[in-house]
Structure 1
Amino acid sequence: MFSKINQSRLFFIGLIIVGTCITACVGAGFGTFKNISLTETGDGNALRVVVNFACAKQQDAYVEYWMKGQKDKLSTSPVSTQKTDFKIVLTNLKFNTDYQYRLVSGSNGVRFQSDVYSFRTKDIPDGLLGLYHVGDKNLQYLPAEFKEGSMMVYNRETPGFIGMIDYKGDLRWYHKLKNTGVKVAHFTQNKTILSILAPMDYPTSYGNEILELSLAGDTIFYLKKGEKDFRQTIHHEILLNARNQYVTLSANERVVDLRTVGGKAADTVKGDGILVLDKSGKRIWSWSVFDALDPLKDKNILKEAKDWMHANSLFIDADGNYIISFYNNGQIWKVNAANKKVMWKFGNGGDFGLPRNVGFDQGHAVHRNSQHHLMLFDNGTSKKQSQVLVFSLNEVSKQASLQWRTQLPEGIFTDRMGSAYLINDSTVLTCVSKQNQVLLTNRKGEVLWSMRCANTPYRVEFVPFSKSKPYIGEF
Structure 2
Amino acid sequence: MPLLLSVLLLTACQDDDNGAGMSATISSVTTDETSALQARVNVTLTMPGDVVVYYWPAGDKGNTHTAQSTVRRGHSIPLLGLQANTAYEFRIIPGGDESAAKDGNFTTPSIPPHVTDFYQESESTVSPAASGYYLFASMTKPGCLYLVDGSGSIVWYRTTPNVIKAARIAQNNTIITLEDNTDNAMGDGNIILQTTFANDTVFYQVSGRNGFDRIAHHDVQVAANGDVVMITNEMKDGYPGDGLLVLDYRGNKKWRWSTFDAMPHINPENYRQPWGNSLFIDTDGHYIVSFRSLCQVWKIHNTTGAVLWTLGKNGTIALPEGGEFLYQHYAHRNADGDIMLFDNGDASRPTSRAVAFKLNELQTEATLTLDTPLPSALYSNIMGSALLLPDKNILAASAVNGRLVQLTQAGDVHWQLKTASRVYRVEHVAKPW
Is the pair's TM-score, using the shorter chain for normalization, greater than 0.5?
yes
Matched letter for residue 455 of structure 1? S
1:208 to 183, 186, 190: 190
Q: Given the alignment, which residue of 279, 291, 297 partners 2:261? A: 291
**1:161 aligned residue:** 144
Aligned residues of 2:123 and 2:418 also touching (Cα < 8 A): no
Percent identity for Structure 1 against Structure 2: 31
Q: 1:38 aligns with which of 22, 29, 41?
A: 29
1:123 CA displacement: 2.3
**1:184 aligned partner, one-letter code:** A
Residue 376 of structure 1 corresponds to: 341
| Structure 2 residue 91 is matched with structure 1 residue 91 | no
Aligned to 1:473: none
Q: Is the 8 A contact 1:48 1:89 kept in 2?
A: yes
Q: Is the 8 A contact 2:385 2:397 kept in 1?
A: yes
SS of alignment partner, residue 79 of structure 1: strand
- What is the TM-score of this pair, normalised by structure 2? 0.93
Change (3 A) 1:280 1:44: closer
2: CA distance between counterparts of 1:416 and 1:350? 22
1:364–1:398 distance in 2 versus 1, CA, 3 Å: same
Deviation, structure 1 residue 451: 1.5
Residue 252 (structure 2) pairs with residue 282 (structure 1)? yes
Which residue in the other structure is 1:318 paired with? Answer: 283
* 1:459 aligned partner, one-letter code: R
Within a 5 Å distance, the mapping from 1:220-235 to structure 2 comes to 220-235=202-217
Q: Against the structure 1 CA distance between its residues 21 and 455, is the aligned structure 2 distance closer, same or farther, given a 3 Å change threshold? A: farther
The answer for unaligned runs of 5 or more in structure 1 is: 1-11, 256-267, 470-475
TM-score w.r.t. structure 1 length?
Answer: 0.85
Q: Which residues in structure 2 correspond to 1:136-151 (within 5 Å)?
A: 139-141=126-128, 146-147=130-131, 149-151=132-134
Confirm or deny: 8 A CA contact 2:248 2:254 kept in the other structure. yes
Q: In structure 2, what is the Cα distance between the partners aligned to 1:401 and 1:298?
A: 35
Is the counterpart of residue 219 in structure 1 residue 201 in structure 2? yes
- What SS does structure 2 have at the residue aligned with 1:359? coil
Q: Separation in 2 of the partners of 1:216 and 1:436?
A: 27
Say which structure, 1 or 2, has more relative contact order (CA 8 Å, 6+ apart): 1
1:112-158: CA deviation from partner (whole Å, max 9, x where unpaired): 5514333232222222123224687984445xxx33x2211212332
1:19 to 11, 19, 40: 11
1:71 is aligned to 61
Partner of 1:247: 229
Whole-angstrom CA distance in 2 between matches of 1:374 and 1:407? 17
Question: For the Cα contact (< 8 Å) 2:12–2:103, is it kept in 1?
Answer: no
Partner of 1:389: 355
Letter of the 2:245 partner, please give it. L
Distance 2:215 2:395 in 1: 30
Q: Which residue of 2 aligns with 1:55?
A: 45
Say whether the 8 Å CA contact 1:22–1:33 is kept in structure 2.
no
Q: State the Cα distance separating 1:90 from its structure 2 match.
A: 1.2
**Structure 2 Cα separation of the partners of residues 161 and 130 of structure 1:** 11
Per mean C-alpha deviation after superposition, the further-off stretch among 115-124 and 379-388 is 115-124
How many pairs align? 429
Contact 1:102 1:113 in 2 (8 A): no
Residues 406, 415 of structure 2: 8 Å contact kept? yes
User: Would you say 1:185 and 2:155 are equivalent positions?
Assistant: no
Verify the 8 A CA contact 1:21 1:35 in the aligned structure 2.
Answer: no
* Of 351, 354, 364, the match for 2:319: 354
| In 2, Cα distance between equivalents of 1:72 and 1:24 | 28
| Structure 1 residues 298 and 54: alpha-carbon distance in aligned structure 2, compared to 1, 3 A threshold | same
SS, match of residue 375 in structure 1:
strand
1:9 alignment partner in structure 2: none
CA RMSD after TM alignment: 2.3
